[in-house]
């Protein structure tokens, strides 16, 4: 069963340019795959990767696509199986979701970041998650809980499940402004639908306060 998905590049004020992936995947599968393509195929050149993805529509993405007898076009090495080239899509997050689309993946070129949106039952895009293309740059990561529920870990100070998340309707008029903050070290990710994510990493361990002369003596 196909999972129609859009992949593209974020633009100003919630607009985007995208192409269709007929057999897309959910973020658990497609985010690691896009990271591999970014690293292995494009040498971490986000602009080159975006240009290649926007060159046409796709049946599916793959690091090592194999020729298939029913394909009308040969696979693109390191990228996937191209489909017939339909018109490039220009859209906005505030607009209704058209057709049977399920996911939208948008590259933020200046941040080397991938933001994922899911189609809701109301036909609107809802922000699902955000991911650094380089996983070492992630501020918060999810790890298995050793048989229990998954844990959210701060990569700055190592705090586990010490996360404060605030979400309010955005002043942009659509979507939500969010702040996810580690209550231990104060590192945070702030997001708004117009400008994307802003990551703040606080020093850890925190600097000791200065109290004056270390000797405490007097002349």
Kind of pairing between the strands at 103-108 and 5-10: parallel
Among candidate residues 196, 194, 189, the one with its CA nearest the CA of residue 166: 189
Q: Specify the higher pLDDT residue, 25 or 137.
A: 25
Among candidate residues 200, 127, 117, the one with its CA nearest the CA of residue 169: 127
Does residue 166 have a pLDDT over 90?
no
* Radius of gyration of the chain, Cα coordinates, nearest whole angstrom: 21
Q: Specify the higher pLDDT residue, 198 or 20.
A: 20
- Using an 8 Å Cβ cutoff, are 53 and 7 in contact? yes
pTM for the predicted model, two decimal places: 0.72
Residue 194's pLDDT is what? 64
Question: For residue 60, what are the contacts with CB-CB under 8 A and spacing of at least 6?
Answer: 21, 22, 23, 24, 80, 81
Please report which residue ranges of the chain form alpha helices under DSSP H: 27-36, 46-53
Beta bridge partners of 197: 191
- Alpha-carbon distance 7 to 24, whole Å? 9
- Using an 8 Å Cβ cutoff, are 23 and 3 in contact? yes
Residue 84's pLDDT is what? 82
Per-residue pLDDT reduced to its tens digit, 86-99: 889 999 988 889 77
- Alpha-carbon distance 219 to 168, whole Å? 57
- Using an 8 Å Cβ cutoff, are 26 and 125 in contact? no
DSSP assignment of 133-159: SSGGG-SEEEEEETTEEEEEEETTT--
Per-residue pLDDT reduced to its tens digit, 121-130: 778 898 888 8
C-alpha pair distances (Å), 16 with each of 78, 88, 170, 218: 24, 11, 18, 66
- Using an 8 Å Cβ cutoff, are 146 and 154 in contact? no
Confidence class for position 8, pLDDT limits 50, 70, 90: very high
For the chain, what is the mean pLDDT?
86
């Amino acid at each position: 069963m196909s999972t129609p998905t859009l992949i593209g590049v974020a633009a100003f004020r919630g607009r985007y340019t995208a192409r269709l992936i007929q057999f897309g995947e959910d973020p658990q599968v497609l985010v690691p795959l896009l990271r591999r393509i970014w690293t292995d195929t494009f040498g971490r050149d986000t602009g080159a990767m975006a240009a290649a993805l926007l060159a046409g529509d796709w049946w599916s993405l793959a690091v090592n696509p194999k020729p298939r007898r029913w394909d009308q076009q040969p696979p693109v090495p390191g990228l996937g199986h191209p489909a017939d080239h339909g018109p490039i899509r220009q859209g906005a997050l505030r607009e209704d979701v058209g057709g049977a689309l399920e996911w939208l993946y948008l590259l933020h070129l200046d941040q080397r970041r991938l933001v994922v949106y899911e189609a809701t039952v109301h036909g609107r895009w809802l922000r699902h998650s955000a991911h650094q293309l380089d996983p070492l740059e992630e501020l918060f990561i999810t790890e298995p809980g050793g048989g229990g529920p998954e844990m959210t870990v701060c990569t700055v100070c190592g705090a586990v499940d010490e996360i404060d998340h605030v979400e309010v309707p955005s002043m942009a008029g659509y979507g939500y402004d969010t702040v996810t903050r580690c209550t231990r070290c104060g590192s945070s990710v702030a997001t708004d639908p117009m400008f994307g994510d802003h990551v703040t990493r606080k020093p850890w361990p925190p600097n000791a306060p200065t109290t004056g002369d270390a000797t405490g003596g007097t002349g």
